[in-house]
Amino acid sequence: MRSDADRLGDILDATAKIAERITESFDAFQGDEVLQVWVIHHLQVIGEAARGVSQSLKDLHPEVPWSEIVALRNILVHEYFGLNMHQVWTMTPEGPPRTGGAGSTHPLRDRTDSVTGEGAA
């Protein structure tokens, strides 16, 4: 059985893999089917890893939207042909920011960093 540390590592690895390849514009993302599949796959990995995190860790970090992350994975898997690529792109590091404040990078990375301590100075 995988540990919480393993699953958090999976989340961070998948987030980094998305960030390595994501384009800076939605139009470029929209025009690259291989990149779309790459991003969707890694978002699914993130959701599957989040699903397996222990309830005690989830309770310790309510700032992470665990159920929303898992719900996104379910949508990506079960509604594959009805996906809105703009909504998928908004889940990536290059997508429109949804959090404020100086130094904020992306909601998922910001929140998982709070769990792993990687964003701490």
Known active-site residue 41: no
Which residue of the set 21, 41, 51, 78 is catalytic? Answer: 78
Q: Catalytic: 73?
A: yes
Q: What b-and-e string marks burial along 89-114, b requiring 16 or more CB atoms within 10 Å of the CB?
A: bebbbbbeeeeeeeeeebbbbbbbbe
* Three-state SS at 75: helix
Of 81, 17, 24, 93, whose CA–CA distance to 49 is shortest?
17
Q: Which of 7, 73, 109, 111 is catalytic?
A: 73
Active site residues: 73, 78
